[in-house]
Amino acid sequence: MSGMDPELFEQFIDQLERYVRERLIPAEREVIANDRIPDAIVQEMRDMGLFGLTVPEEYGGAGLSTSQYARVVRTMAYAAPAFRSIFSINVGMFNSAIKNGGTAEQKAEWWPRIAAGEIACFGLTEPGSGSDSAAMATTAKPDPSGNGWILNGTKRYITNAPHASVGLIMARTEKDNLPKNAHVSAFIVPMDTPGVTVGSPDHKMGQSGSHIADVILEDVHVSGEALLGGETGKGFVFAMKSLDNGRISVGAASTGYARRALDSALRYATERKAFGEPIANFQLIQQMLAESETEIYAAECMMADVTARADAGENILRKAAAFKVFASEMCGRVVDRVVQIYGGAGYLAEYDAERFFRDARIYRIYEGTTQILQLQIAKHMLRDFAAQA
């Protein structure tokens, strides 16, 4: 995928860096205090085209390559996580599923709307299932009256559900579990469809301003055109392919936020004095700074590699998982060191370090926990080895 002209893209990144520094970071305290992004900022992000970064230009988007979109995410993730979260499902998962599995009619209907800034959510996880699709309880049954489907079930921890105008909902279309998860299909469901209810936003450890909630489906009637790709049994395949992009987004966000935390620690270490000199002069503080810099650089290199492979058309499932695992765990280690560098101040809400620590914790959990992704990486390693034997 060629993406935006490189020179234009670098100009866009420069503009975005200024926007993050001059507009988003100063707004963080308001986002935290009110647990919401100001409407004016959401509209500015729409006007900048952030909701349609990967939508093809002919449908109103920016047409970015995977490498370019990951750089945008990393740049935005330098600010509070909510700013990335509000557009990330559009860009990383919903749009990817439409691209990989949507019919021409579905692309024509939804891509312009997504590019214009309608917010999407992605309904895979349930109270009793996440990565375990065999336990999925949400059902989609043919509408007895003719064309269409009736959906019933509950989705849990759905990012952006309180703000979304459309959801990509995974549902069981076959009673029995089938090989390769062919019992799961994907449906494009407008959130104002009768029978769709969104629960109250959950209270979370961190990530203020980013909202998750349950989505309850009670006898939700959708037309036959709602079935992604027009074919049953392909939903899980589309979901997993789009999760590759979602994992790249989380990896890029982890990398950008780790950089923000380290910059904060570097500033604090040069200003804070002990024993008559800045603590940055002490070698054990320097060790923590250097280890963090080294790990962030490694994640940046992984991001550049996996996104280049994605743009070249390679199957990146294993490498996207590896990048997400490393970058999210790396971010956790960096923010832990940052709290330590801040010392007692790092435990106080008055300073940024404790917020970085809380915000970063979710990166190791969503879009596949570290442990699930390690199992997935190993499974594919063993499968590839067996195929070569």
Closest by CA to 171, choosing from 216, 136, 219, 126, is 136
* Residues in a beta bridge with 256: none
Greatest Cα-to-Cα distance within the chain, rounded to the nearest angstrom: 81
Q: Which residues, including other chains, have CB under 8 Å from residue 264's CB and lie 6 or more apart?
A: 338, 352, 353, 356
Distance, CA of 21 to CA of 42 (rounded, Å):
16
Active-site entry in 118, 126, 354, 367: 367
SS3 state of residue 334: helix
Q: 218 catalytic, yes or no?
A: no
Closest by CA to 302, choosing from 347, 248, 265, is 248
- CB neighbours of residue 36 within 10 Å: 20
Closest by CA to 78, choosing from 343, 262, 247, is 262
Distance, CA of 174 to CA of 142 (rounded, Å):
11
Phi-psi region of 35 (alpha: psi -120 to 50; beta: other; left: phi over 0): left
Q: Would you name the residues annotated as active-site residues?
A: 367
